[in-house]
Structure 1
Amino acid sequence: YFFRDPERRPPDLPGAVVAPADGKIIDLSLVEAGPVHDSAARKVSIFMSPFNVHVNRIPVEGVVKALRYSPGKFAAAFQSKASLDNERQYVDFAGPYGRVGCVQIAGWLARRIVCHLRVGQAVHPGERYGMIRFGSRLDLYLPPECDIRVKLNDRVRAGETIVGVLHETK
């Protein structure tokens, strides 16, 4: 049950940012700087309970620009401090719609992050890229001009739910 991996079909919408994880939206905020942005970014946090599918999926079309693993604590993933203090894996995607960051975050129950990506790899929305075993949290960092399509407490499905829409960068 914990390692189920259902097929998902991403929406066919140019610039769509699909949810990288199943779960509940627990934070929508504008941050001064995200892990892949030198300036302001929109942060969308998804809490994955032990009952959600744990497979993580690519949110946007592009190329993997950078990967960075940070060891850390294992606080409860629904707490905001988990984004900064917990063990995490950063992924920086770059594509025709700008840069998008995903951060897989381990929690007190989920102490195993898996990421199968490599720098330079071409990726497509909805593709599997890893998992956080037994649920936890995934933070998504988007350009500030992204048109956000979810609200707090919404339930999202990885690879299917449109979180936001980006517009081509010039």
Structure 2
Amino acid sequence: MFHREGQRIIITTFIIVCTIIVLANYFIDITWLKFGLQIISLLILILILQFFRNPKRNVSKNFDEILAPVDGKVVAIEEVEETEYFKAKRIQVSIFMSPINVHVTRYPASGLVKFSKYHAGKYLVAWHPKSSEENERTTIVINTPKFGDILYRQIAGALARRIVNYAEVGESVQQGEDAGFIKFGSRVDLFLPLDSAITVKLHQKVTGAKTCIATTRVKKENED
């Protein structure tokens, strides 16, 4: 299954690859050059298909949990000053996606979208400390039943040139549902209340709509 944002580029790439393979057969007599060009074309098509894959995720919705919004690796867990919306301290959990990760963004929690804003910007590498404030990005705030307002930010990386965001203010969203897409390398930052119980560790690999990023303190205490 492939994401709808990749339909046009998949079809275009498929047509170009088929054209190259056919033309190479007719016009290139050097065997190694012909087969080399055809193999490279097929590899490019495979990479495009791999990038836009959209695996189905069965989500067990839970108001007491914040789920990973994307697949990737946790590159930051720290208390920071969130300056765009909260203008107060929050726990930031950052997840970096390499080009081989699934790049679908999924809602980390169920609730009501209170804020959704796009920012044009630079294309620093996604793990750069200033990418959260200077790169092309979108900021989305969801009001949740147990955590109150949480914020997640889609951040374009050095290769990414388009962020797709489906969240609209006033919309009721469900945990794990498709929230958008970031093309070719990126990062997502979560900003959570200070009393959230973080359940992941630095450098841990996480799976979108599957891995629990944080729970409420009440749930954590009950489990202990």
Which bracket does the TM-score occupy, shorter chain normalised?
A: over 0.9
Identity of aligned residues (%): 42
1:70 aligns with 2:119: yes
1:84-120 per-residue CA deviation (whole Å, 9 max, x = no partner) reads 1101000010021201101000011011100112111
- Aligned equivalents of 2:125 and 2:167: distance in 1? 26
Q: Which residue of 1 aligns with 2:168?
A: 118
1:51-73 per-residue CA deviation (whole Å, 9 max, x = no partner) reads 00000000011010011111110
After the TM superposition, which parts of structure 1 deviate over 6 Å for at least 4 consecutive aligned residues?
none
- Aligned equivalents of 2:143 and 2:78: distance in 1? 21
1:94-151 per-residue CA deviation (whole Å, 9 max, x = no partner) reads 0212011010000110111001121111111101110101121000100110000001
After superposition, residues 87-126 of structure 1 pair within 5 angstroms as 87-97=136-146, 98-126=148-176
User: Structure 2: any 5+ residue segments left out of the alignment?
Assistant: 1-49, 219-224
Compute the displacement of 1:12 (Å).
4.4
Question: Normalising to structure 2: TM-score of the pair?
Answer: 0.72
Compute the displacement of 1:15 (Å).
1.2
- Residue identity matched to 1:27: A
Larger radius of gyration: 2
User: Structure 1: any 5+ residue segments left out of the alignment?
Assistant: none
Report the count of equivalent residues.
Answer: 168
Question: Normalising to structure 1: TM-score of the pair?
Answer: 0.94
Structure of greater relative contact order (alpha carbons < 8 Å, 6+ residues apart): 1
- Residue identity matched to 1:142: L
The answer on whether the counterparts of 1:35 and 1:101 sit within 8 Å (CA) in structure 2 is: no
More strand by share: 1
Structure 2 SS opposite 1:51: coil
Query: Which stretch of the first structure deviates more once superposed, 67-76 or 30-39?
Result: 30-39
